[in-house]
């Protein structure tokens, strides 16, 4: 027996030692790859063309990943390894280029597939328009043009198009799916409890067609965004909106010749001819002497904060769905400690709160709002809206000192709803699972997902919705210094664009993140400052370590895939996991526009 225990303990110690050594090797491997992946700061030639490829992503914030380009580990563990240029840095780079004698002109490409959010398109185009006013040229060339790409390209002095290219400019649109008929076949009943005639969130689960109110708000919203684009395009191209919309409505725009004929392009040329034009403008004989610098590289090399400045402006990013403790998006667990940290930092004199969220959990939104208001007692908060600042996204930001919104931002959506999913019939019909509810009181099993809500239970849940809606309208009214009755009249769950939101007093100014930062500096009376971003961006090393720590989840997933019975158990577990009826302050949809 003694020999057994000696052998067992020796094996145990050996195993633990081996695991520890393996863990150290993993850490060393990640560090080594990171070190090898480090690249030197890009250099800018003494004479160069700033090349802006619209297919390269411009997102909410800059993420410089040292693994980008060479990252087998990221591919193995399905972690994104793309570096992203943030819109604030992109705008500052274009502004810097206007005064930089090394930059001779801007060359716009990638016009067929801009990789920008709709508000980032607007903010970068405004920066390009300001660059144009500096006297330097902007040249745009596209093999094909999407309408979002053309919206950007239209700011250029000259627009060229490949002679065999195509253009698809047909107006803005979106598609919506309604699932009631499918859910009826599956035996799934969805009960929607809401306040707001325009609160169309979850309407797709209880209807098989769009409601008149939802159709109305979507048409108004789409027309508002389209009119913003048309106004900018027509001003740049010296044509009238009537002429432009007539060409769009009658499908007159489709190839290079039609683009030139409708005054949307200056010339249709070949790739070779375009290169020659660039050579002529840059003052060289052949393309070998053309010197380009990408927007991302130029930003990295030239966009710097004032290192000597002691005062700081914090840019606090809030992007995604609002939850208590989700794996991504805006979470109470992660954001609130960051807000406390900013509050304690005496060197931070003002905060720019960048919101890009369709909303989410109403309780989570209120906790975040309360924490922000404690911060606001210490420092001014200037808000900047991205693609979305709606419902819960508006809830957390309505009481900022000032609000900047892009004209194309989707905002408002002041409304609340609750959902109750009833799977009982579907479990019986499709999985042959019978459910029996047992409880101590009349409503003990309410909201467990196996039986419909009773009328008194629906009334019970309606109380929550009405209370939260009243709270929401009061928060918005206090923040915007408006009567509650007025907020209710423009609320009711209705989604507005930024330009309409300013007219309705939901926001103060049309402007981007760069405008909000400049305003915050003046508001805090800062002559010099540097910006700091919060929360910090997680490095790939941190993401990889998290993946290693959660390898057990992958084992469980593989078992489910190879075991049909386990698959059924997992499906049922996910259905029964839902407890109660959740209350949301959220937009109807995350819109995907065709642009």
> Active-site positions?
199, 391
Q: Give the span between the Cα atoms of 260 and 271, in whole angstroms.
A: 17
Assess contact for 361 and 329: CB atoms under 8 A. Answer: no
Q: Give the span between the Cα atoms of 501 and 411, in whole angstroms.
A: 7
Assess contact for 300 and 64: CB atoms under 8 A. Answer: yes
Cβ neighbors of 52 (< 8 A, separation 6 or more) are 106, 107, 108, 109, 110, 128, 294, 295
Q: Give the span between the Cα atoms of 351 and 516, in whole angstroms.
A: 10
Q: Give the span between the Cα atoms of 90 and 298, in whole angstroms.
A: 9
Q: Give the span between the Cα atoms of 267 and 289, in whole angstroms.
A: 24
Cβ neighbors of 517 (< 8 A, separation 6 or more) are 88, 313, 315, 352, 382, 384, 531
Q: Report strand pairing: 416-422 vs 402-405.
A: unpaired
Tokens of 388: 């979305």
Extract the runs of DSSP E, i.e. beta strands, from 92-136: 103-109
CB neighbours of residue 43 within 10 Å: 10
Q: Give the span between the Cα atoms of 237 and 156, in whole angstroms.
A: 9
């Amino acid at each position: 027996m003694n020999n057994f225990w000696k052998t067992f303990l020796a094996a145990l110690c050996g195993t633990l030692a081996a695991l520890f050594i393996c863990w150290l090797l993993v850490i060393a491997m990640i560090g080594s790859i990171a070190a090898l992946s480090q690249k030197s700061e890009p250099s800018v030639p003494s004479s160069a063309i700033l090349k802006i490829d619209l297919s390269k992503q411009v997102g909410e914030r800059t993420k410089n990943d040292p693994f980008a380009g060479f990252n087998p580990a990221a591919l193995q563990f399905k972690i994104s390894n793309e570096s992203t240029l943030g819109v604030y840095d992109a705008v500052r780079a274009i502004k810097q280029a206007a005064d930089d004698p090394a930059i001779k002109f801007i060359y716009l490409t990638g016009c067929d597939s801009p990789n920008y959010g709709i508000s980032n398109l607007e903010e970068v185009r405004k920066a390009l328009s300001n660059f144009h006013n500096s006297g330097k040229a902007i040249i745009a060339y596209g093999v094909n043009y999407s309408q979002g790409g053309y919206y950007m390209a239209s700011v250029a002095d000259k627009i060229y198009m490949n002679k065999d290219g195509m253009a698809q400019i047909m107006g803005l649109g979106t598609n919506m799916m309604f699932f009631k008929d499918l859910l009826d076949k599956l035996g799934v009943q969805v009960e929607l409890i809401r306040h707001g005639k325009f609160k169309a969130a979850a309407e797709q689960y209880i209807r098989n067609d769009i409601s008149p109110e939802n159709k109305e708000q979507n048409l108004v919203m789409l027309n508002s965004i389209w009119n913003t684009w048309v106004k900018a395009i027509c001003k740049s191209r010296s044509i009238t909106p009537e002429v432009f919309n007539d060409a769009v409505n009658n499908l007159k725009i489709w190839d290079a010749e039609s683009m030139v004929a409708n005054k949307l392009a200056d010339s249709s040329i070949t790739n070779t001819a375009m290169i020659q034009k660039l050579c002529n403008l840059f003052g060289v004989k052949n393309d070998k002497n053309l010197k380009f610098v990408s927007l991302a590289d130029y930003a990295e090399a030239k966009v710097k904060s004032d290192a000597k400045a002691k005062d700081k402006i914090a840019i606090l990013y809030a992007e995604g769905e609002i939850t208590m403790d989700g794996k991504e998006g805006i979470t109470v667990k992660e954001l609130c400690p960051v807000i406390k940290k900013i509050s304690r930092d005496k060197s931070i004199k003002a905060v720019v709160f960048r919101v890009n969220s369709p909303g989410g959990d109403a309780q989570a939104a209120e906790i975040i709002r309360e924490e922000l208001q404690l911060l606001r007692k210490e420092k001014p908060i200037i808000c900047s809206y991205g693609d979305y600042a709606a419902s819960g996204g508006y809830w957390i930001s309505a009481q900022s000192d000032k609000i900047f919104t892009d004209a194309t931002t989707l905002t408002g959506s002041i409304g609340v709803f609750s959902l109750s999913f009833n799977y009982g019939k579907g479990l019986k019909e499709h999985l042959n699972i019978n459910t029996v509810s047992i409880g101590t009181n009349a409503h003990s099993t309410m909201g467990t997902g196996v039986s419909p809500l009773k009328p008194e239970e629906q009334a019970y849940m309606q109380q929550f919705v009405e209370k939260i809606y009243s709270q929401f309208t009061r928060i918005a009214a206090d923040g915007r210094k408006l009567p509650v009755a007025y907020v209710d009249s423009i609320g009711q769950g209705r989604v507005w664009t930024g330009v309409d939101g300013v007219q309705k007093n939901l926001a103060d100014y049309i402007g981007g993140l760069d405008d909000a930062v400049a305003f915050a500096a003046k508001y805090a009376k800062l002559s010099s400052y540097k910006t700091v971003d919060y929360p910090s961006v997680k490095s790939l090393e941190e993401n990889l370590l998290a993946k290693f720590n959660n390898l057990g989840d992958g084992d469980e997933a593989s078992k489910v895939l190879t075991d049909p019975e386990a698959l059924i158990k997992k499906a049922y577990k996910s259905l029964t996991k839902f407890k109660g009826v959740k209350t949301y302050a959220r937009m109807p949809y995350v819109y995907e526009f065709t642009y």
